[in-house]
Amino acid sequence: MKQRKFQIDFGVGCIGQDDWGAEYTLGAVSRDFAIYWEPSTYNDANLIRHLHTISDEDFASEDYDDNSPLITDECEEKEEQPIWYDINDLEHLSGIYFLGSAYVVEIGDDGNQIPDTEIEIDPHILHTRQTGIDVEDEPPVVKEGFDPDDEEWEDTPPELIDPDIVWQPVLEFYNEEKGQFHEWIAETDGEDFDPHKLVIALVYIDSFGRFDNPFVEAVFYDEEEIEAEVPLYLFSGGNPRTQVGWTDITGRKQMKEIGLGMWDIKQQNYENSWADCRESIATSISGGETRIKS
């Protein structure tokens, strides 16, 4: 039977409209840099300008803060400081926001969308995770032999004085973009597109509260992950945000110690989530849901 292709998109639909998404990075910085640029001391506009001068290697600019510590402990000269998008050892995301729907349209033999075939779908969610800064100010230093029940700590959240937690000073940068983002192509052996076979994974950014929409991190059809196609075009929406803070890297550090990287962790999370997702899909099918919104 002849194969059929279906384009999957998110945002506002498949028919050539611009969507919103972002590029997001999270990476380790020096403690001195994080303390200097604490949100209680500086607003992010100053930090954005400072980081942009580093990207442009324009250290003579008045926007470059000569009083700022260098970004990482490895840097010995200001010229050695990394560009913001290279500060990404903990996270680097780039893609479209999930606004609650997936849009699927059939692709003809000529590579074009077939008119009047677009459907709006409520996809099944395989896995959601959160990333970002956990606390803005440096957690208190817990000295050896401390007593968590001591009056000294009575107003301090327990997670900030847990001696087993590893806190890492970090910088995060969030640059919103508008355009036509990645698209995903699913193929069938002649069958219609089955909405119950469309499953996605999402990631939320904790730190910037006004960005409530998660990223689409992965797309699956019939339990096979689909490779994202290259975006057609993007242009900056002119809405960058950045800040410093501290992130709990305990789990990441433990994974790294046993030889697992971030990609391994993500794949493990996906695999662990499939049992619950299959149960959710079965319940949806038995309940007569089509998952088609329109």
Asked whether the beta carbons of 291 and 197 are under 8 A apart, the reply is no
Burial class from Cβ neighbours inside 10 Å (0-12, 13-18, 19+) for residue 262 reads middle
Within 8 A by CB and 6+ apart from 121, the residues are 101, 102, 103, 104, 195, 198, 291, 292, 293
Range from 96-100, 152-156, 164-168, 279-283 that averages highest in pLDDT: 279-283
Q: How far is CA 174 from CA 203, 217, 253, 269, 292, in A?
A: 14, 16, 24, 24, 32
Q: How many other C-beta atoms are found inside a 10 Å radius of the C-beta of residue 150?
A: 9
For 12-16, 103-107, 207-211, 284-288, which range has the lowest pLDDT when averaged over its residues? 207-211
Range from 160-169, 175-184, 273-282 that averages highest in pLDDT: 273-282
Within 8 A by CB and 6+ apart from 139, the residues are 160, 161, 165, 167, 246
* Closest by Cα among 123, 83, 125, 119 to 104: 119
292 DSSP assignment: B
Q: What is the pLDDT of residues 259-287, one digit of tens each?
A: 666 666 666 777 788 999 999 999 999 99
Kindly report the pTM of this predicted structure: 0.84
Q: Each residue of 61-83: b (16+ CB within 10 Å) or e?
A: eebbbeebbbbbeebeeeeebbe
| pLDDT value of position 22 | 85
Range from 17-21, 136-140, 240-244, 250-254 that averages highest in pLDDT: 240-244
Q: What is the pLDDT of residues 59-108, one digit of tens each?
A: 999 999 999 999 999 999 999 999 999 999 999 988 888 999 999 999 99
Asked whether the beta carbons of 63 and 53 are under 8 A apart, the reply is yes
For 12-26, 44-58, 163-177, 194-208, which range has the lowest pLDDT when averaged over its residues? 12-26
> Cα–Cα distance between 44 and 97 in angstroms, integer?
23
Q: How far is CA 99 from CA 12, 25, 54, 122, 165, in A?
A: 8, 21, 34, 10, 34
List strand residue ranges (DSSP E) for 108-194, in order.
119-121, 124-131, 167-180, 184-188
> Cα–Cα distance between 39 and 245 in angstroms, integer?
8
| pLDDT value of position 210 | 47
> Cα–Cα distance between 250 and 266 in angstroms, integer?
16
Q: Give me the percent of the chain exceeding a pLDDT of 70.
A: 84
Task: Look up tokens 């606390």; give the residue.
Answer: 135
Q: How far is C-alpha 243 from the chain's CA centre?
A: 16
